[in-house]
Amino acid sequence: MKTMHKFLAVVISAALAAGLLAGCGAASSTASSAASSEAVSSVAASSEAASSEAASGQAEDAKVKAEFTVTGADGESQTFTLEVTDGEKLSDALVEAGLISEEEAAAGFVTTVNGETADWDKDQAWWCLTDATGEMTTVGVADIALHDGDSYAFTYTK
């Protein structure tokens, strides 16, 4: 019987991990379509900008500002201004700001943000990554390229 409980715990943990890695869960079909369209537009704009810069011989180290908000278990929010290179990955910017560890950024699975740990096994808590509109992202921090004016947030969720 103990083996069955362990097996179920592993299966549930794997399912949760897959859900979190997919961007904190599924959004509505319309929201997903809008997010996909926005992502395609963003990629097209980024490609066009990169081509323009390459053609003019300019380096891609222009600094831009993005905001990142962390809302902890107590409901208190802190907003951080990230000064980053245009196109820098959100995971790298969060490591540079000291908000997540290099290990979690590399693994792509964030459990500790700004020193606060969300422990699913303890109390079903996790960090939900959202964009400026408050919608859950469809990708993780390692897949988001930052641009001027971008805004993202991690919210402690139970």
The structure's pTM equals 0.64
For the segment 24-57, what is each residue's pLDDT rounded down to a tens digit?
Answer: 544 333 344 344 334 434 444 444 444 445 444 4
Closest-CA residue to 31 (of 108, 130, 148, 156) = 130
147 confidence band (pLDDT: 50, 70, 90): very high
Domain that holds residue 79: 2-27+64-157
Number of domains in the chain: 1
Position 79 in a domain: yes
What's at 49, amino acid-wise? A
What's at 46, amino acid-wise? S
62 confidence band (pLDDT: 50, 70, 90): confident
117 has pLDDT over 60? yes
Position 110 in a domain: yes
Closest-CA residue to 25 (of 14, 33, 17) = 17
**Comparison of pLDDT for 124 and 49, the residue scoring more:** 124
Position 9 in a domain: yes
Position 93 in a domain: yes
Position 55 in a domain: no
Position 39 in a domain: no
For the segment 67-112, what is each residue's pLDDT rounded down to a tens digit?
Answer: 999 999 999 999 999 999 999 999 999 999 999 999 999 988 899 9
Q: What is the CATH number of the domain that holds 71?
A: 2.170.130.30
Position 42 in a domain: no
| φ and ψ of 35, to 5 deg | -65, -40
Q: What share of the chain is helix, strand, coil (3-state, %, to 5)?
A: 45, 25, 35
| Beta-carbon-side half-sphere exposure of residue 6 (alpha carbons within 13 Å) | 3
Position 96 in a domain: yes
